[in-house]
Structures are given as C-alpha cells and as structure tokens.
Amino acid sequence: MIGIVVKKELKEIFRTSRIAWLFAGLLVLIALSVYNGYTYYTSHSSLLKESQEVTYKQFISQGNKNPHLGAHFGFYAYKPTADLAMIDNGIEDYTGSSFYLEPHKRGIIKFREVTDATSLKSFGFLNIGYLIQFIFPLFIFLICHNIFSKEWENGTIKLLLGSKVGRRDIYMGKLLACLCVVSMLIGIILFLSSTVLIATSANLEKVMGSYLIYLSGLCLFSVILTSIAVSVSLLTRSSTLSLVILAGFWLMGVFLLPRLAGEISKHVYPAITSVKFDHVTFNEMQYGVGDEGTKDYRREKLLERTLAEYHVDSIQQLPVYFIPITIEFFEESDGKVMDRAYSAVDQNQARQNGLVRSVAMLSPFLAFRDFSMHVTATDMETHNDFSEKAEQHRRKIGVIVDEYYQKHVEATNEFWKTVPQFQYEPPGLTHRLVAAGPAMLIMLGWTLAAIALMIFSYRKMTV
C-alpha cells in the first residue's frame, strides 16, 4: 500500500511544472557548485604547495649572512588546502593560511583571502557545502510544504482517509515520496562530487573515510528537514501557512540565529583590541611579570649566570658569543608572555564560538554546518592546530639558528639547509570526529525532535 501512495505522490510532484523548474534550477546550481569547489581546491592547493617549496628554497639559498640576519629573512609556513575543501571550504578564506617563521615574533596567520575580496563575498561562496547548508533546505521545503496540505485544500483528504490505505501507510507513503525526491538530488550531488574528488585527490584512501561520514551526515540532515516539512504540512493543513512557517524556520536557522548569536557572543565575551594587546604584551616583555624585573635587569642576571657557567670574568672571555644566548633567553621568556596573551585570545574566541554553536540546538542548519566544517577539516580547531604547529616550528628554527650563532658569525647555504622544512598534517579523522561530537549530538537531538513532531502530526491526521 505504501508503494501505491509513493507512486501517486511522485506522479503528482513531477507533474507540476514548478517542480521541473526547481529541479532544473537546482541541477544548474549543483553543477556550478561542484565546478566552483573544484577550481577553488585546485588553484589553492597548487599555489600553497608550490609556495611552500619556493619560500623554503629562498631561505636555504639566501647565501652567506649573519645567522640572525638570515633567520630574520625566515620563511613561511603555509597551511595546505584541506582535501575536502572542494566540498566545503569552511572558514578557510577568513583565517588566512600564511605564518611567518622569523625570530622574536610569534607569528600571526596572515593573508586572509576575504580581505582582498569584493562585497560579493558577503553573499557566500557557492560550493557543495554552501549549497547544502543554505539553498538545499529551502528547496526541500518548497518541494514538501504542501504534501499533506494540498489534500485539505483540494478536499481530497476525506477520499484518501476513506480509502483502503491505512493512515500509517498514507503518512509513510508521503514521507517516502518526499525522501525519494530529496534522495535523487543527493544522488546527483554525490555522483558529481565523487567524480571530481576521485579525479583530483591523490590521497583518496585518506579522504574516503571523511567523505563517507560527510555523506552520512548529509543524509541525516536531509531526512530531518524532510520530516519536519512533511509534519508542518500536515499540522497547518494550509500550503501557504506551511510555506511561510518553513521559510521562516529556514531564515531563522540559516541567517538570523547564527548572526544574532554571533553578535551576542561579541558582547558577552568582548575581544581585546589589538592596541591593548600590543600595549599589554610590550609592557610584560619589557618590564617583566611579577618580580621578574625589567629586561635590562634580566639581561644582567643572564650575563652573570653565563659568566659563572663558563668560569670567566668578562664577556670577552666567553668561549661563545653572548648575543645569541640573550636572543634565545628572551625568545623563551617573551614566548611565555605571547603564549599567555594568545591563549587568552584563543580562549575568548572559543567561548564566543561555543555560544554560537550552542544555538545549533535551535537550528539544525547550524549543527550541520558545524559538523561539515569539522569533518572537512576547514574549521577553527584545525586552523588553531596549524597555528600551534607553525609556532612550534618557528621556535625550533630559533633554537637551531641561535645554537649555531653562539659559535659562528656567518652562516652559509650549507647551514641554512640544516633548518628543516615545515610540513603540516591536519588532525586525523578520529580527532575531527571528536571535535564534531557536539554537532553530531545536536543533530541526533534534532532527529529525535523530528520523530516526535512526526508522531504528533500523525495523530492529528483526522478530518
């Protein structure tokens, strides 16, 4: 019986010209999204890969220089483009991907693409992720909003309920028909994105796990939205009201709530200004924290300790150069100040982000967006991980150069080559899944809510 209802519904859905238009429009959008994601991935990944090689080559071929001067020439650590960035590039364009590895200064990630973009960027970036998170839900609602209400509006509900088909079969039939249409669209997305992924990804085996998890999330997300749309259609018994409610839900969930939550989080956890940050860190480095004493005082103490260590009376008698020792010393103590300051910034941002993410309890769209960014490794956590690894590498280079500088005043290319290249591997799938845990839990919560709504609406299926 369910089969009959599904057949009837599919016939009705595909008979209306507006569905054909919707499908055609969505197909064009899917193709464009895949193309856009593909060009984004290929251009970015090759640029970053090549630039990493070039910047390192420039460093190791800089010729004879004072080691410290050469270290200041430094090189860049570039965050490689995530393998699944062609599906969803998450916050990549907003974080930047370049980290300058030079002495004294903890690097900050620079060259955020969004700062060199036009105002069109604020309308989003069309790729599969964007399409699924922003446009696809509205299409689901447009397709399903009248699946039940039309029966009341056309006066056919009595006929339907009076037929041999049971209430449960009618409900399931209509739901399955909607899911069939939605699955078709997912199938097209799956086919196109898989083709491009296979064609471009060298690490297909590595990517496949994340990709399959992403697809599972997408299926669950689509089922949740379809169930909600079907239930609302049944509860309102009016296509217009159902459409207004669903469109409102979409607008609230996709745009309004996240943005509003973002603004609230900025007020609840205000960020430190760059001016204040610089002022505080400068004072802490210059005048010390607690009873550390000023930089001059600490330098004198360091000299005393070094002279004692080498059992000599003056700086000229030292068997090593003193400047690199001070550089190394302050690299460490200034590093602690900067670590503390950046950690406070990171913690504040984590609190802000946590508040926004908690709003996903009111918006399945936000929960899926969060899940998607974590699984594709285009999230804030991966970015912070990169930043941390790059900083570790910067300090490692500092130690290598300063140790060399203690005994040599000139470094050649032979020495520069001993400084290791930066290589970054994003956190593994397990780590990403742990990060996506809250989003997955919220999505499960939405699944339960959708089931509850279905049961509630099913009970209202009477004339």
**Residue of 94, 329, 424, 458 that binds other proteins (CB under 8 A):** 94
How is residue 417 annotated by DSSP?
A: T
Number of H helices, E strands in the chain: 19, 3
Question: Is residue 91 classed as helix, strand or coil in its secondary structure?
Answer: coil
Residue 316 interacts with other proteins (CB under 8 A): yes or no:
yes
Q: Using the rule CB under 8 A, is 30 a contact of other proteins?
A: no
State the Cα–Cα distance between residues 222 and 49, nearest whole angstrom: 36
**Assigned token pair, 58:** 């420039």
Cβ atoms of 84 and 123 within 8 Å: the answer is no
Span near other proteins by CB under 8 A; candidates 111-119, 159-167, 192-200, 216-224: 111-119
DSSP H or E segment with residue 76: strand 75-78
Contacts with other proteins in 73-92 (CB under 8 A)? 73, 76, 78, 90-91
| 299, 322 contact by CB (below 8 A) | no
Residue from 10, 186, 323, 400 that binds other proteins (CB under 8 A)? 323
Q: Applying CB under 8 A, does 263 fall inside the site for other proteins?
A: yes
Task: List % helix, strand, coil for the chain (3-state, nearest 5).
Answer: 75, 5, 20
x/- map, 331-350, other proteins, by CB under 8 A: --------------x---x-
368 binds other proteins (CB under 8 A): no
146 binds other proteins (CB under 8 A): yes
Q: Least distance in Å: CB of 448 to other proteins?
A: 26
Do the Cβ atoms of 5 and 165 come closer than 8 Å? Answer: yes
Closest contact distance (angstroms) between CB of 135 and other proteins is 7
CB of residue 449 to other proteins, shortest distance in Å? 22
Find the binder of other proteins among 380, 390, 401, 436 (CB under 8 A): 380
Side-chain-side CA neighbours of residue 401 (13 Å):
34
Q: Does 96 sit near other proteins (CB under 8 A)?
A: yes
Q: Min. distance of Cβ 224 from other proteins in angstroms?
A: 21
Burial grade of 273 (CB within 10 A; 0-12, 13-18, 19 or more):
exposed
Residue span binding other proteins (CB under 8 A) among the ranges 171-179, 190-198, 294-302, 386-394: 294-302
Residue bearing tokens 């607008």: 251
- Name residues contacting other proteins, limited to 408-447 (CB under 8 A): 409
Which one of 55-63, 201-209, 437-445, 448-456 is the stretch in contact with other proteins (CB under 8 A)? 55-63
Q: Which of 168, 266, 336, 459 binds other proteins (CB under 8 A)?
A: 266
Q: Which stretch binds other proteins (CB under 8 A): 116-124, 211-219, 440-448, 451-459?
A: 116-124
Residue number, 332 or 410, with CB nearest to other proteins: 410
Strands (E), 222-286: none
Question: Would you count residue 126 as binding other proteins (CB under 8 A)?
Answer: yes
- Applying CB under 8 A, which of residues 7, 27, 111, 159 lies at the interface with other proteins? 111
Within a 10 A sphere around the Cβ of 56, how many other Cβ atoms?
Answer: 20
Q: Which stretch binds other proteins (CB under 8 A): 30-38, 185-193, 229-237, 331-339?
A: 30-38
* Distances in whole angstroms, Cα of residue 289 to Cα of each of 32, 286, 294, 376: 55, 9, 9, 41
Picking from 74, 112, 81, the residue whose alpha carbon sits closest to that of residue 421 is: 74
Nearest to 455 by CA among 227, 194, 225, 127: 227
- 435-458 in b/e form (b: 16+ CB < 10 A) is bbebbbebbeebbeebeebbeebb
How many whole angstroms separate alpha carbon 307 and alpha carbon 118? 59
Token pair listed for 393: 């590498």
Other beta carbons within 10 angstroms of residue 416's beta carbon come to: 24
Q: CB of residue 416 vs other proteins: minimum separation in angstroms? A: 11
| Residue 436 near residue 375, CB atoms below 8 Å | yes
Task: Name which of 2 and 40 has its Cβ closer to other proteins.
Answer: 40
Binding residues for other proteins restricted to 161-220, rule: CB under 8 A: none
For position 20 contacting other proteins by CB under 8 A, the verdict is no
Q: Which of 7, 11, 14, 18 binds other proteins (CB under 8 A)?
A: 18
Among the listed residues 24, 27, 31, 108, the single contact to other proteins using CB under 8 A: 108
Cβ atoms of 39 and 202 closer than 8 Å? no
- Minimum distance of other proteins from residue 271's CB (angstroms): 6
Of the ranges 197-205, 320-328, 439-447, 452-460, which one interacts with other proteins (CB under 8 A)? 320-328
Q: Is residue 31 a contact residue for other proteins (CB under 8 A)?
A: no
Residue 45 binds other proteins, judged by CB under 8 A:
no
Cβ-Cβ contacts under 8 Å for 416 (sequence gap 6 or more): 59, 60, 61, 62, 70
| Contact with other proteins (CB under 8 A) among 374, 383, 389, 394 | 383
Near other proteins by CB under 8 A, which window of 1-9, 169-177, 188-196, 315-323? Answer: 315-323
